[in-house]
Chains A and B, each alone.
Chain A
Amino acid sequence: MLLEVRDLRVEFRTREGVAHAVNGVTYQVDAGETLAVLGESGSGKSVTAQAVMGILDMPPGRITGGEILFRGQDLLKLKEDERRRIRGAEMAMIFQDALSALNPVLTVGDQLAEMFVVHRGTSRKDARARAVELMDRVRIPAAAQRVRDYPHQFSGGMRQRIMIAMALALEPALVIADEPTTALDVTVQAQVMDLLAELRREYRMGLVLITHDLGVVADVADRIAVMYAGRIVESAPVHDLYKAPAHPYTRGLLDSIPRLDLKGRELYAIKGLPPSLTRIPPGCAFHPRCPMARDVCRTDPPPLYEVDQRRGSACHFWRECLDG
């Protein structure tokens, strides 16, 4: 197993109290596999990723429990300089907003070349040549000239390609992409997702794709983990989940997608709002919004029940949910 997150817990100290952002997240990613982590804002999907990468702001953040095993080694037990060697070379991250993730006062060529100079000790000249190669690889036209341009001189789609180039520079085994196409237009989104999928296949990388878009997930992912209020509420192979969700939250999300045969009728809407992370409801965090909730849901937090060998659901009544 390439990456295994086990019972990870992260909290933040805020003025309103302790925000429980991640409350026991467990997931695995294999080499060559794409895992989509789906959730709304505040579900903890990005915080989990930051903890895996080791870029969580601490304080105010604090990892209060769990393990992050990368090729069997617990990253949380490593020293900072050991982690730094892994970060970038063996695992890399692609951020949503390329304009703020790239350094505005360095040319993109310098930023790409830096990867080789710092991690591989390559000479500046060779590193520059590798940067051009990389830009070519992510299909940036006239790479040899554009290597001297600054981030603001590129369009949104091109900037995102540069981010991808930077993440893939050292051919990492694991890439975490946090909403990589959310800021892009649909036609450009399609280009970037295609490129990412192609490179992933070529390098046999494990990919963790963080998104809120059920369409993107269906397009590229092998497996999906749905997060709600800092927990995984359902995890399953993509085909199984879309065919029959085993958690009422997943069902609600799928049902609220506008569908052709339901035009002119009300959309299904999950009632209420996602909970505040400082006041997560007791029992199952989803119970105040759940159409299936019963007394036990208000008191007993559901474990991640095994639905079958490859899927799990954190709902006491997953059988009923699965049956529709």
Chain B
Amino acid sequence: MADTTKAGEPTDATPNVSGVQVVEAESEEQAVAALDEPVERGEPILQVRNLVKHFPLTQGILIKRQVGAVKAVDGISFDLYQGETLGIVGESGCGKSTVAKLLMNLERATAGEIFYKGQDITKLSGRALKAVRRNIQMIFQDPYTSLNPRMTVGDIIGEPFDIHPEVAPKGDRRRRVQELLDVVGLNPEYINRYPHQFSGGQRQRIGIARGLALNPEVIICDEPVSALDVSVQAQVINLMERLQDEFNLSYIFIAHDLSIVRHISDRVGVMYLGRMAEIGTDEQIYEHPTHPYTQALLSAVPVPDPDAREHRERIILTGDVPSPANPPSGCRFRTRCWKAQDKCAEETPLLAIPERFKSSDSPAAHESACHFAEEKDVVHAA
């Protein structure tokens, strides 16, 4: 079969740069210049190919030897298009936050490539890497620990300018910070206040202002609203959507709340134990999921409608997520899957449009990593 490999065989054996227009820069100037080129709306801006991150497990105190690895991210590929929001959902331990760190270049990838405008950022250094870092920014989950309590709001939001002074010259910084405060809906006069003087929602706005300071093109949002109260979440989501239109941003939106992800995302990827289980438009994933894990996940989400209680089909999975240090062979989901057969233990299903849907134009024809992919409309059963 064309879309399967033998179990155990590393999936990144074949270098996969399909669909990537690789830019080979000969000098640093060229590389930096290419990174400043704008990308057309709808064209890929960030392309991830076979990304792998293994954290070594060591034993011994003086002489450390590696006894295994936590396979946090184990070969994932996806594209982010300019101006879109790509949602990434999955349960704790599925590797979604590690993906965020890899995209930010905060962790070194074990293998694989991350192309930003055609250049592999895992191999960049010096001024080119600095230019990438300016263009890809992050918003963190916890607005309580991600802001330095000893710095004023003005210093927090203005700190990026210390590293990238070309964005805002020294004399102009205060005005620029006040502008940013205004943009995220905070009073510009609060510039000299400290983080503890703000509520959770306001702090998240400060984090967003800091993320916007360098006029980035891509923002990685790692659970940006999950620490906030329900009545405040909607305010922050609305702000993020407004900023996306205003500044032409592309978002990677990592979250576990499926209804918020659906609201904000154009496309959604579902991760399970370090791999991408299924990816497609929000409609394809939510209305026509073909991967059993996606189906179980969607059916498990409580629906805020008591009338749905009686006639809703729920798929209750048994057991827990296996440890990423010792994942199952073949399909990662097979130990909890009701469809699993011998083939699932032997062959790793690749993320591809399932053969049976290939020639159809149905919404089920999207990438799904399951040998026995079939449609099951779980949301509408509600």
Q: Which residues of A contact B (CB under 8 A)?
A: 40-41, 155-158, 185-191, 193-194, 212-219, 221, 238-239, 242, 252-254, 256-258, 260, 262-263, 266-271, 273-274
Contacts and interface: CB of A to CB of B under 8 A. Distances in A.
B25 to A, nearest CB: 38
B297 A253 contact: no
B241 interface: yes
13 contacts: A158-B320, A185-B321, A190-B300, A191-B317, A214-B230, A214-B304, A215-B303, A242-B305, A256-B233, A256-B234, A257-B259, A258-B263, A260-B262
Contacts of A193: 302
Central interface residue in B282, B305, B306, by most chain A CB within 10 Å: B306
Contact of A256 (B91, B230, B303): B230
Interface stretch (B60-68, B112-120, B127-135, B308-316): B308-316
A215 B231 contact: no
Given A186-B297, A191-B317, A269-B238, A212 B307 contact: no
B232 interface: yes
B229 A218 contact: no
Given A157-B320, A187-B297, A258-B259, A213 B302 contact: yes
B301 A186 contact: yes
Contacts of B199: 273
B317 A187 contact: yes
Given A242-B306, A267-B238, 18 more contacts: A186-B91, A186-B297, A186-B301, A187-B300, A187-B316, A187-B317, A189-B302, A191-B317, A212-B229, A218-B302, A218-B306, A219-B306, A242-B307, A256-B234, A258-B237, A263-B262, A269-B235, A273-B199
Given A158-B320, A191-B316, A256-B233, A185 B259 contact: no
Interface of B: 91-92, 199, 201-202, 229-235, 237-238, 241, 256, 258-260, 262-263, 282, 296-297, 300-309, 314, 316-318, 320-321
B131 to A, nearest CB: 33
B60 to A, nearest CB: 22
Central interface residue in A158, A238, A242, A267, by most chain B CB within 10 Å: A267
Contacts of A41: 229
B260 A258 contact: yes
B256 A185 contact: yes
A304 to B, nearest CB: 21
Contacts of A266: 238, 241
B316 A190 contact: yes
A239 B320 CA distance: 33
Contact of A218 (B233, B235, B303): B303
A257 B237 CA distance: 11
Nearest to A221: B306
Nearest to B318: A191
